[in-house]
Structure 1
Amino acid sequence: MLHWDHVQVPRVSDAAAGAADALALRACPVRVEPRRRAALALAQGPQVSARLRGTQLTEARRENEWLRAGNQTVQVQALKDFAQAKARKFDSGFGEPTWRKKHKHEGFRVIGDDRVPEFNADGSPKLNPKTGKQVMGRSVVVQKLNRRWAQVKVSGCGWVRFRLTRSELPQAKTFRVTFKNGQWHIAFAVIPDPIEKPGTGEVIGIDRGVKVTAALSDGRRLNCPQLTVKERAQIRKHQRRAARAPKGSDAKTAEYAKVARLKAREADRRKDWCEKTSTMLARTYDLVRFEKLNITNMTKSSKGTVEQPGKKVRQKAGLNRAILAQGWGLLRQRTEHKAPGRVEDIPAPYTSLRCSACGWIDKNSRKSQAEFVCSSCGFNCNADTNAATNVAAGQGGFPRPRRSAGAGGTTARKGSNVREPQPIRAEIPLF
């Protein structure tokens, strides 16, 4: 199967080069409107049809033995993926398809061999408008062996066993096989149904951090599993051995492969935790509120430039690694996928400084990372739980005076050390 992936790459590369030479396409730095897109398409010339690409592939397979050794279905799907990427270069935001690097994103897509009748949304048979016959679609052939294992039929390769991660068998037309860190993975093109709302009316707020990955407003504190001390020591050992090995040697490659497997284990644990936690949130609460965090900006390097070098670059790099190891973005994304329309983002400013009991904001109330003692009312609780309570109440952003008490209550007080002076508003009487 890995040979098929290597065989399909030159074919896509040739297609990319041919499209660039024949159609003179170039990446557009701005978003193109539909009307301009049509005019640009006329200026660029005719597009290569799927039938022409198939004909060119057949001729190339007839002339080249190394290309004929690969599976034709896999090569056709690679050309379709390339054509789709070219067609969506204006809408996807990624621009022109780029060249794939060696040993990066190795994999291929396979379409099912089984023919099954297709039906409309109302359950009626789907008929061909020209012939009036039943439309037969593609389907993946999957057989369940036992509770943990199943097998899928791959054209040209036979039956391939894989481990099930869901109780039900996938009903898909295509699937993708990938090779990463010495392991094979198979993913079926299936969109699962969203989780139904429990109907309890409960609202949960989540404060994300490095010390505590997810602090809930009900008092629970959840932590994403990390590598053990022994596993981190193994990573450092293999990295030292790789640094001392000769450049380009098999020993260096083997040591880096061991490091990659350990880091892949950490990523698998993080993904598994995010999947289970997001499922728990979607099944338990009607509304899930996260503090709105710009993780991309938070994890930027402080290296600076030659003229203006940054400060504490190594400390900032360690903080960036700690943030990315918690899976903040993945937890928010998977919760949105499983509970669409039931996830909200609350502005993050002042959620950690605001008292959830009286609403008073003071930076001196945050005694430490884990302790919060309100300087106004004396309310005492865990700092992360206090922030999560404010997120659940929807109180975030710039402090403004309120008449009500509770989370986000009265925030204006004379002599406040955090609120800036506000302009005087003149009241105009209405007659």
Structure 2
Amino acid sequence: MFGHCAQARHAWNLAWEVNSTYRKGGARTTKPVRYVGMAAMLADVRRTPTGDLTTEEADYFVWVASGNAEVQQQALRDFDQALANFFNGSHGYPGRRKKYRHEGFRVIGTGRAPAWTADGEAVLNAKGKQVVSRQVRVEKLNKKWAQIQVPGCGWVKFRNTRRALPDAKTFRVTHRAGRWYVSFAVVPDPVDAPGDGSLVGIDRGVVITAALSDGRTLNCPQLTARERAQVRKYQRRAARAPKGSPQRRAAHAEVARLRESEANRRKDWCEKTSTTLARSFDTIRFEDLKIKNMTRSARGTVEEPGRRVAQKAGLNRVVFAQGWGLLRARTGHKPLVGWRISHPSTRVCGAATASGSTRTRARAKPSSSVPAAVSPATPTPTPHATSRQDRAGLPTSGPEACAGGTTPHQRSSVREPR
């Protein structure tokens, strides 16, 4: 599978080189080449005769032709989608992919299955025959394990984390921190809102990850004190080991394993918490935080070097560990039926407890139009202070321990959201 990863990464980088003339801030003399043109170029490369080439060039073309065509084509489709996201303004320009950092590939299923509509009717083509679509070939072995057919690798066993087998057309295989993961492209079931007109505001902070306007607090799980000590131990061991030695690689692998565990906990918490919010409220308002500006490095330039660079870097790591952006993004992905997320607004906890005003106000400029729940004469409260103020004037909807986390706690909390 590492060979598939190398072929997919090589196809992506080739597409990046072809479209390097059309870059943000660069010369835009020609239109970027999209998937159809890049696929034609790939076919020409695979059919290139190697009789008149040097040994090095011949080996390169033979290596490209030996790769799986579907893996290479899906990498080109991924790059084409990245270009589309860049043109739509939702993402930046795609960059190059590097070995050991971008290890993965996407494949279309090799199975065939008749296509049906949501109403149970057969999908017909222009000739009146039922369409037969591609499908991933997955077999269940037992309660915990299943196997999937990967081109060029045969049947590969994996740990099934869902009750039912996925009904997908494509799947993606990735390698992170010494482990292989397989994910399936499946349209999730819609999350229905309660439909009672409920409104909640969410302030995000560092001590408390998210403070709700009804008085509850949510905390993202972190590494325990023992795990943080292990990270420091392996980092010191890697710093003392010779460069390129097996000891150094083993220490870096242990650090990556612990960081991967922390990221998995954060993603799991964001998924469960966002689902809980989607099922509990009709309208959700998040505090308008410019996370990119808040986490900008303080190192400055050569002419004007920054101050307290290490302290600012530590604060940035703490902010990233809270998962602010992921919680906001995943909550925005959940409103599929009957509800919406309002525009971001500052002081959302105070605004949500008032009469429903959505006016945006800056933190440093109190205004006479501030709702009664937030006093103009007082400084902007922290998320914890805001929760206390709201709790003083409004009844809480539950105990102090809330969905997705607990009140400030030194150890990590992995409680499933209510």
Query: Which of 99, 103, 106 is the matching residue for 2:100?
Result: 103
Q: Residue 299 of structure 2 aligns to a residue in which SS? A: coil
CA positional deviation for 1:134: 2.9
Query: Which of 125, 128, 131 is the matching residue for 2:125?
Result: 128
The CA distance in 2 between the partners of 1:158 and 1:328, in whole Å, is 40
The CA distance in 1 between the partners of 2:107 and 2:340, in whole Å, is 35
* Percentage identity across paired residues of the two chains: 49
What are the superposed Cα offsets for residues 370-398 of structure 1, whole Å, 9 maximum, x if unpaired?
557xxxxxxxx725868999xxxxxxxxx
Distance 1:96 1:202, change over 3 A: closer
What is the TM-score when the length of structure 1 is the normalising length? 0.73
Aligned to 1:53: 42
Query: What amino acid is the match of 1:304?
Result: G
Q: 2:74 touches 2:107 (CA, 8 Å); kept in 1?
A: yes
Query: What amino acid is the match of 2:46?
Result: L
The CA distance in 2 between the partners of 1:243 and 1:388, in whole Å, is 53
Query: What amino acid is the match of 1:178?
Result: T
Asked which structure has the greater RCO (Cα within 8 Å, sep 6+), the reply is 2
CA positional deviation for 1:103: 1.0
The CA distance in 1 between the partners of 2:259 and 2:34, in whole Å, is 47
Q: Residue 194 of structure 1 aligns to a residue in which SS? A: coil
Higher gyration radius (CA): 1
Q: How does 1:291-302 map to 2 (within 5 A)?
A: 291-302=287-298
Aligned to 2:78: 81
2:267 pairs with 1:271: yes
Q: How does 1:360-371 map to 2 (within 5 A)?
A: 360-363=375-378, 370-371=384-385
CA positional deviation for 1:46: 12
Distance 1:60 1:145, change over 3 A: farther
The CA distance in 1 between the partners of 2:376 and 2:83, in whole Å, is 52
Query: What amino acid is the match of 1:343?
Result: I
Aligned length: 368
Query: What amino acid is the match of 2:257?
Result: R
Q: Residue 48 of structure 1 aligns to a residue in which SS? A: helix
Extract structure 1 runs of 4+ deviating beyond 6 A: 44-47, 60-63, 350-356, 386-389
Q: 1:54 touches 1:76 (CA, 8 Å); kept in 2?
A: no
The CA distance in 2 between the partners of 1:168 and 1:212, in whole Å, is 36
Aligned to 1:158: 154
What are the superposed Cα offsets for residues 39-70 of structure 1, whole Å, 9 maximum, x if unpaired?
9549x999736456335425579975544654
Distance 1:229 1:113, change over 3 A: same
What is the TM-score when the length of structure 2 is the normalising length? 0.75
Aligned to 1:394: none
Q: Residue 305 of structure 2 aligns to a residue in which SS? A: coil
CA positional deviation for 1:256: 1.1
Distance 1:239 1:140, change over 3 A: same
The CA distance in 1 between the partners of 2:383 and 2:211, in whole Å, is 13
Q: How does 1:29-428 map to 2 (within 5 A)?
A: 29=24, 40-41=30-31, 48=37, 50=39, 53-54=42-43, 56-59=45-48, 66-67=63-64, 70-82=67-79, 85=82, 90-91=87-88, 97-120=94-117, 123-129=120-126, 131-340=127-336, 341-348=339-346, 359-363=374-378, 370-371=384-385, 382=388
Q: 2:135 touches 2:169 (CA, 8 Å); kept in 1?
A: yes
CA positional deviation for 1:266: 0.7
When structure 1 is superposed on structure 2, of 337-346 and 288-297 the one drifting more is: 337-346
Gaps of 5+ in 1: 373-380, 390-431
